[in-house]
Structure 1
Amino acid sequence: MSYMKLDLQFFAADEKTEKATPKKRGDSRKKGQVPKSQDVNTGFLLLMVFGGLYLFGGQMQVSLTEMYSKTFQEYIHWELTTESTAAVFLEITVEMAKILAPIMGIAIVAGIASNLVQIGILFTGEPMKFDLKKMDPIKGAKRIFSARAIVELIKSLLKISIVGLITFAIIWVNKDQMMLMSQKSVEDALVFFGNITIIMGLASGLALLLLSTLDYVYQRYDHEKNIRMSKKDLKDEHKNIEGDPLIKSKIKEKQRQMSAARMMSEVPDADVVITNPTHFAIAVKYDEKVSDAPIVVAKGVDFVAQKIKEVAKANEVMMVENRPLARALYQSSELDRPIDEQFFKAVAEILAYVYRLEKKV
């Protein structure tokens, strides 16, 4: 039974039940793993491109008509040579570039804008890196028959059905006018069918954009599900951020040792060591060139206090017993900082006593 409990605990720890941390989200983003709906791009692109056709359609028609007229009124009379063919090709290319430039510009802006709205600014080459796992036929088969693949299939069928229904409805509403186009001029017929095409494009783009809202919500849900973390993942991440507790304790111990060594090097220059006498030891130094008040250069309790007293004795630094003052200085004073004002009088009396004994005054 105990083995079964351990197994259950192990699987529970590995189960992806926790929300992703900011670090996990940042790492996923660097890898290009972000919630994104291609339908948003498609719908916005269609809407903007057909909107551009609606705005610039008349100008495009005039430019195409002029190019058509020039072809059959001027180019057709040119002598067929390499130079004339190159000239015609160059002129037609330039004219077509001028005609298509606004629409191409709108398409580029729409593509960039739709991505910025969804994922913001992101540059990463991770998705383009070669990965042998992507060529695994077993994983490929799993992706084909996965729940996500079924959802994508349903989405595609839904989009085709809606676009087809919109197209059919627009054609059905305008069927009578279409029948009458045989009685109209070619120019009138082209204008009519051009307008119908733009209307179908705008309606389809708007419908796809509305559908893409639902798809984006699903993509966000699926992304959040994929980047979920287990309790073990959270612990491992915390370890990586904060550091291994064992290593941290060793670092702290090393820092304590270095701090103690530095303190001990300051004790020989102290003027006096105020003791408890057994538990506390405070080394004080007064230098009017450095500070207006005495400075605590070393302090310690128990083992460290004994070491301070040993160093002081070895270097003939005077030690004075004052139990309440030693305890108060240890609790209230910081290393390499002047003592608090409330201790000035007591410490000054001790220093005066020491100076008298050492005949410094």
Structure 2
Amino acid sequence: MQLKLDLQFFAGGAGEKTEKATPKKRQDERKKGKVAKSQDVNTAILLLCSFIVLFVFGSMMKENLTTLFEYTFTEYIEWNVTEQSVYQVFVSGSIEMAKMLAPIMIVAIIAGLAANLTQIGFLYTTEPLKMDLKKIDPIQGAKRIFSVRALVELLKSLFKIVFIGVITFAVIWLFKDDMMMLAFKNADNAVAFFGQTTIIMGISTAIALLFLSIFDYVYQRYDYEKNMKMSKQDVKDEYKNTEGDPLIKSKIKEKQREMANRRMMSEVPKADVVITNPTHFAIAIRYDENQASAPYVIAKGADHLAFRIKEIAKAHDVVMVENKPLARSMYDVIEIGDVIPEQFYQAVAEVLAYVYRLENKV
């Protein structure tokens, strides 16, 4: 019974997500649009920039709106109601409204893009727009509603409402005396007062939201990293999928080595000489003026491979010369197909001269 419990414990521990997400998983999740982002940061920056634009261009917008109303009630009101006049009024009014709202809209777009780029950089993906039946699964929906994250979001929303409500009340309380005196002011002063109060309230609220968004961003990063964690088995499976099964890779490499060795052994009969250690190393050298300006290595091996090279050389009457220091030195620094380095010219030339003499080539 105890052994069974221990096995269950370890089986559960193997699936526990304790490892940090790998770069590949992060990249895959990013392609799906899953990134650490706080919507509060976007909202705060958007509100702050919008109210700053209202503060800067507010007087101009007021003048344009006033001019539009004056022109409407002095000129347009005298026009006959026809299709052409209605169309002209609509077009003129739309153009004037567009001129007034253009600064806010442009700054809002720039602020929204800047807020997203600051948090997650450039990201374009259509994955979140794809049809996914899991999104309308009532069981999964219930789990999301009653999850810890949903509770955190609820508490965060309540805290923001209370925090912003306190700031709004504080601004109203600060200007309560001026508000009571509005009955003794003309319409222009009353509009200016409400505009000023609204901008102060908006900028104060935006700054408060920006402050709160820092904590929200930290929480979103924490929650993102927590959800991105992988189990040891997940890491192993990803490695297998990316790099291939180590067992299969070793088999492939073994086959590749066997094929390379067969090709190398097929070149040994073409060698002019095989330099040996004599037991541990064997280097097969060929000199062909049409192939290279100096002798080059067509095969080399140690231990078992050296024995095979010597066997093939002996079977095809290739001369073997024992030179322990030369064989060892060349084996360490020269690869198959390489031309003999200049440092070995003298020693190799002497060996080849000896071979040619044996074969009566000189």
Shift of 1:38: 0.9
Shift of 1:138: 1.3
Alignment partners' CA distance in 2, 1:193 and 1:330: 90
Matched, 1:337 2:341: no
Matched letter for residue 93 of structure 1: S
Matched letter for residue 104 of structure 1: M
Shift of 1:344: 4.1
1:188 maps to: 189
1:69-84 → structure 2 map (5 Å cutoff): 69-84=70-85
1:220 maps to: 221
Shift of 1:326: 3.9
Cα deviations by residue, 1:46-84 (Å, 9 ceiling, x for unpaired): 111111111111000110011001111000111111111
SS at match of 1:17: strand
Alignment partners' CA distance in 2, 1:183 and 1:347: 113
- Name structure 2 gaps, 5 residues minimum: none
1:41 maps to: 42
1:140-219 → structure 2 map (5 Å cutoff): 140-219=141-220
Tell me the matched-pair count: 361
Alignment partners' CA distance in 1, 2:242 and 2:7: 28
Alignment partners' CA distance in 1, 2:154 and 2:195: 32
1:102 maps to: 103
Shift of 1:340: 5.0
1:312 maps to: 313
Matched letter for residue 77 of structure 2: I
Matched letter for residue 89 of structure 2: V
Cα deviations by residue, 1:6-65 (Å, 9 ceiling, x for unpaired): 322221111011222222222221111111111111111111111111111100011001
Cα deviations by residue, 1:117-165 (Å, 9 ceiling, x for unpaired): 1111111111122111111111111111111111111111111111111
Greater CA drift, 158-167 or 316-325: 316-325
Relative distance call for 1:54 and 1:311 in structure 2 (3 A) is same
1:85 maps to: 86
2:254 maps to: 253
Shift of 1:316: 3.3
TM-score, reference length from structure 2? 0.93
Shift of 1:175: 1.3
Alignment partners' CA distance in 1, 2:218 and 2:7: 38
Alignment partners' CA distance in 1, 2:63 and 2:279: 104
Shift of 1:170: 1.1
Shift of 1:321: 4.1
Relative distance call for 1:322 and 1:117 in structure 2 (3 A) is closer
Alignment partners' CA distance in 1, 2:148 and 2:214: 20
Alignment partners' CA distance in 1, 2:38 and 2:343: 69
SS at match of 1:335: coil
Matched letter for residue 248 of structure 1: K
Matched letter for residue 99 of structure 1: M
Shift of 1:186: 0.9
Q: Report the aligned-residue RMSD.
A: 2.0
Shift of 1:262: 2.2
Shift of 1:358: 1.5
Sequence identity, in percent?
Answer: 62
Matched letter for residue 162 of structure 1: F
TM-score, reference length from structure 1? 0.93
SS at match of 2:19: coil
Matched letter for residue 82 of structure 1: E
Alignment partners' CA distance in 2, 1:327 and 1:61: 92
Alignment partners' CA distance in 2, 1:60 and 1:221: 43
Alignment partners' CA distance in 2, 1:142 and 1:116: 31
Cα deviations by residue, 1:301-334 (Å, 9 ceiling, x for unpaired): 3443343234334443223344554445434432
Greater CA drift, 277-286 or 75-84: 277-286
Alignment partners' CA distance in 1, 2:225 and 2:158: 25
1:17 maps to: 18
- Name structure 1 gaps, 5 residues minimum: none
Alignment partners' CA distance in 2, 1:328 and 1:47: 74
Alignment partners' CA distance in 2, 1:131 and 1:143: 16
SS at match of 2:81: coil
Shift of 1:271: 0.5
